[in-house]
Amino acid sequence: MSRRSMFLIAAAVVLLYFSIILFMLNPLHGSRGGYYGGGYMNSFAFRHDPPVNWCSELRWRNPPSPDVVALASYPGSGNTWLRYLLQQVTGVVTGSIYMDYGLRVHGFPAENVTDGSVLVVKTHAIPSDSDKFKSAVLLIRNPRDAILADFHRLHRGHIGTAPKSAFKKKSHENKKSDWATYVSTQLTAWESLNQMWLTRFPGPLHIVFYEILVRDTRNTLQGILDFLSYNVTETAMNCAMANKEGIYRRKKKYQDFEPFTADMYKALDQVRNRVLSMVMDYKRKHSNVLQVGYV
Ligand SMILES: *[C@@H]1O[C@H](CO)[C@@H](O)[C@H](O)[C@H]1NC(C)=O
Ligand SMILES: *[C@@H]1O[C@H](CO)[C@@H](O)[C@H](O)[C@H]1NC(C)=O
């Protein structure tokens, strides 16, 4: 092995552990007012309904790529925001296995397109043998914020936040609140989605932590572009960074309100740590083909 490749592998390993440490240090507990993390929602808040200003006019991938790349995540993990960033920086549309009419008219014309004419294809599903995905970007957000973001989306569609009462509501004969039941089923879903992509998907996988995407948007986005073998100019990257917030930032609300109990935090921590060790296992197994420098 040459000195250069040894250096690159060492650098990659250092960066990987640094990123995981950043992710781990992000406290789940006690960060009052921090429930909304970066504040980016999975879906749009069409508050003023402004048109999206694209850095360059959106186009289809031409020629189409022979390989289809999944953009996989649990709901509420910033999938739409990452699609937005990718569209800003490349000018190429991103697809989805779903047809979200709201998104289609607000900057995502390739809803329900799942072929090589798009850059990546959004999915919240677990990988299956019938997929045509050759590779995947797996976007992981900490389960507390992802579950809460999706709960808001379910209660308020594409706008705003769930009312406080939504966290208290109980169905008949149920001891637990609907919210508590929701947290435990969704936590299981969060774990199994990430586990399936980390252990069952046969193709190359590029793992992105949402928290690191928020903190270091430029380098994280560049890492994804390298994984996609898609070159962009520095001008395009600068323009995307100048417009990185897009039109969808959820208003922060209820900063004095804690929807999660101590027991929920315990469960969230355990599950998150299990997934993080699966990420480390994945990286260890694939370290000889590690894409240098990215997580
Ligand atoms: C999505 O695309 C498929 C295949 O192109 C098409 O048959 C289907 O009608 C589309 N769904 C919607 C809701 O437009
Ligand atoms: C991307 O840029 C690199 C370095 O400038 C070049 O070697 C490579 O061929 C380019 N790839 C594509 C797909 O344009």
Most distant CA atoms of the chain, gap in Å: 67
Nearest CA to ligand 1 atom 12: 99
Rounded distance, CA 100 to CA 120, Å? Answer: 16
Mean pLDDT, range 147-167, rounded to an integer? 76
Higher-confidence residue: 173 or 225? 225
Rounded distance, CA 168 to CA 176, Å? Answer: 9
CB 264 within 8 A of CB 183: yes
Residues 6+ apart with CB under 8 A from 228: 69, 119, 120, 137
62 touches ligand 2 (CB under 6 Å): no
Which one, of 172, 46, 178, lies nearest residue 100 by Cα? 46
pLDDT, one tens digit per residue, over 77-96 is 999 999 999 999 999 999 99
Phi-psi region of 157 (alpha: psi -120 to 50; beta: other; left: phi over 0): left
CB 100 within 8 A of CB 34: no
Look at residue 159 in the predicted model and tell me its pLDDT. 52
Helix residue spans in 30-142 (DSSP H): 79-90, 101-104
Query: Could you tell me the distance, in angstroms and rounded to a whole number, from the CA of residue 80 to the centre of ligand 2?
Result: 27
Q: Which domains does the chain have, with CATH numbers?
A: 3-285 (3.40.50.300)
User: 8 pLDDT band (50/70/90 cuts)?
Assistant: confident
Average pLDDT taken over every residue of the chain: 84
154 touches ligand 1 (CB under 6 Å): no
Query: Could you tell me the distance, in angstroms and rounded to a whole number, from the CA of residue 228 to the centre of ligand 2?
Result: 12
Ligand 2 atom with least separation from CA of 229:
13
Answer whether 0.75 is exceeded by the pTM. yes
Query: Could you tell me the distance, in angstroms and rounded to a whole number, from the CA of residue 232 to the centre of ligand 2?
Result: 9
95 touches ligand 1 (CB under 6 Å): no
pLDDT, one tens digit per residue, over 266-292 is 999 999 999 999 999 999 998 755 444
For ligand 2, mutation pick of 231, 232, 234, 237 (most atoms within 8 Å of CB): 231
Q: Is 164 exposed, middle or buried (0-12, 13-18, 19+ CB in 10 A)?
A: exposed
pLDDT, one tens digit per residue, over 108-144 is 999 999 999 999 999 999 999 888 899 999 999 999 9
Q: Which residue(s) pair with 123 in the sheet?
A: 72
Whose tokens are 């809803």? That residue is: 111
Look at residue 28 in the predicted model and tell me its pLDDT. 63
Q: Which residue(s) pair with 59 in the sheet?
A: 92
Whose tokens are 């294809």? That residue is: 121
pLDDT at 171 over 90: no
* Ligand that lies nearest to the alpha carbon of residue 99, given by its number in the listed order: 1
99 touches ligand 1 (CB under 6 Å): yes
pLDDT at 209 over 50: yes
In the sheet that holds 121-123, the strands lie side by side as 95-96, 121-123, 68-73, 133-140, 205-209
10-24, 92-106, 142-156: which range is least confident on average? 10-24
pLDDT at 7 over 90: no
Nearest CA to ligand 1 atom 9: 112
231 touches ligand 2 (CB under 6 Å): yes
pLDDT at 180 over 50: yes
Tokens representing 184 are 């435990």
